[in-house]
């Protein structure tokens, strides 16, 4: 099932809409419709007009979020970073970048660009309201004034919130860039992530006494900081090695003509959860434990590997950095990749292989 849909492009970058955005859209509209001014439309016009204004304001708010992400992406593209897409999600937007720049000055500019865009939008809308109000009588009583006031205020709050020094907010990246001028990139990430975790812990404590929503935000911040610390450490350490240093060269393959029951027995015997599917000298696909787990036991004798295998094989080269294989697995949400050299299968690399290598490297 597709979870994201392309709705357009901005500065040459595909813009996608995640299905969670469609869930939050009516929620935000309802909040705006039932909140008193100056941050809502309750009691202003009557009937369906309140909800129409609230829906328009919600859509414009997410356009502002899109511009925030476009600010990050514009600077990143200038430094040669590939941006796959910008996706609007339940809690905002995210730019899918190949890799964050590791030059501190570049990361600092890229991280600051998003909050700067939000701040400029907020100040511009509020200033426009003040300017028009001073020259047009009764303008401050209109729905347009209220809408611009809401959007301007929220954009300034968005800019300030994103400057908090904690991952995954932009402030966490600004803090890492500051640390990275003084120490290694891994250590800078660890210090910035630790600060973010402490910040999340304090936010959670405050939330217990004042606002339960802060607990949810604190959890989000803590997980984001932990994941950034983990993924950065893995990526940097694995860059020192190539795929051929870690892969399994003695590849066990299966035929597309065996049934699923025999495959499950082979998995139990060999203790591997993924196998390339080969017929003769030709690679046909890959089959994993995930592919057989939903097949009912009484159907496994009738089903062949060719019926459940994945034909669209994702592969890497033995000369690629091991960190690149890790990114490929993460990006495609898979547990292993095949290693191909000039069209020939020469190995297989699993997430377990990478984690085992990480353990040894840490030791």
Distances 68 to 114, 122, 159, 164, 262 between C-alpha atoms, Å: 4, 11, 9, 16, 53
Q: How many CB atoms lie within 10 A of CB 312?
A: 6
- Other CB atoms closer than 10 Å to residue 28's CB: what's the count? 16
Q: Nearest-CA neighbor of 39 among 151, 198, 114, 132?
A: 151
Selected catalytic residue, list 69, 107, 228, 324? 69
* Distance (Å, whole) CA 263 – CA 291: 11
Containing H/E element for 85?
strand 83-89
DSSP β-bridge partners for residue 283: 278
112 token code pair: 């600051």
Q: State yes or no: is 269 an active-site residue.
A: no
- Determine the Cα–Cα distance for residues 14 and 167; give it in Å rounded to an integer: 25
Which residues, 6+ apart, have CB-to-CB distance to 339 below 8 Å? 243, 244, 247, 315, 316, 317, 318, 345, 346, 347, 348, 349
CB 259 within 8 A of CB 303: yes
What CA–CA distance (Å, rounded) separates 145 from 309? Answer: 58
In 3D, which of 297, 326, 298, 328 has the Cα closest to residue 313? 328
By the 8 A CB rule, do 129 and 145 touch? yes
Tokens of 362: 């840490």
CA torsion through residues 133, 137, 143, 146, sign: positive
**Residues recognised as catalytic:** 69
């Amino acid at each position: 099932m597709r979870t994201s849909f392309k709705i357009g492009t901005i500065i040459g970058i595909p813009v996608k809409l995640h299905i969670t955005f469609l869930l939050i859209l009516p929620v935000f509209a309802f909040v705006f419709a039932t909140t008193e001014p100056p941050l809502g439309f309750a009691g202003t016009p009557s009937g369906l007009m309140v909800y129409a204004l609230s829906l328009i304001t919600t859509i414009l708010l997410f356009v502002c979020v899109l511009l925030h992400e476009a600010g990050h992406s514009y600077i990143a593209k200038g430094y040669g970073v590939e941006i796959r897409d910008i996706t609007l999600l339940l809690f905002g937007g995210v730019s899918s970048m190949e890799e964050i720049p590791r030059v501190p000055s570049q990361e600092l500019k890229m991280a600051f660009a998003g909050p700067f865009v939000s701040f400029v939008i907020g100040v511009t809308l509020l200033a426009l309201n003040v300017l028009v109000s001073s020259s047009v009588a009764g303008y401050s009583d209109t729905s347009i004034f209220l809408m611009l006031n809401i959007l301007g205020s929220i954009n300034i709050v968005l800019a300030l919130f994103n400057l908090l020094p904690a991952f995954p907010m932009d402030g966490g990246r600004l803090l890492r860039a500051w640390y990275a001028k003084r120490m290694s990139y891994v250590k800078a990430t660890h210090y910035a992530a630790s600060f973010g975790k402490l910040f999340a812990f304090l936010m959670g404590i405050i939330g217990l006494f004042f606002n339960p929503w802060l607990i949810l935000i604190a959890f989000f911040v803590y997980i984001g900081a932990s994941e950034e610390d983990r993924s950065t450490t893995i990526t940097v350490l694995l860059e020192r090695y190539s795929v051929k240093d870690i892969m399994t060269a003695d590849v066990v393959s299966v035929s597309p003509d065996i049934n699923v029951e025999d495959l499950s027995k082979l998995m139990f015997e060999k203790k591997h959860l993924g196998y390339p599917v080969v017929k003769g000298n030709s690679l046909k696909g890959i089959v994993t434990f995930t592919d057989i787990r939903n097949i009912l036991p009484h159907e496994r004798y009738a089903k062949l590997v060719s019926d459940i295998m994945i034909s669209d094989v994702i592969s890497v080269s033995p000369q690629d950095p091991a960190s690149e294989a890790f990114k490929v697995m993460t990006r495609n949400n898979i547990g292993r990749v095949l290693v191909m050299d000039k069209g020939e299968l020469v190995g297989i690399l699993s997430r377990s292989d990478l984690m085992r290598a990480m353990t040894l490297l840490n030791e």
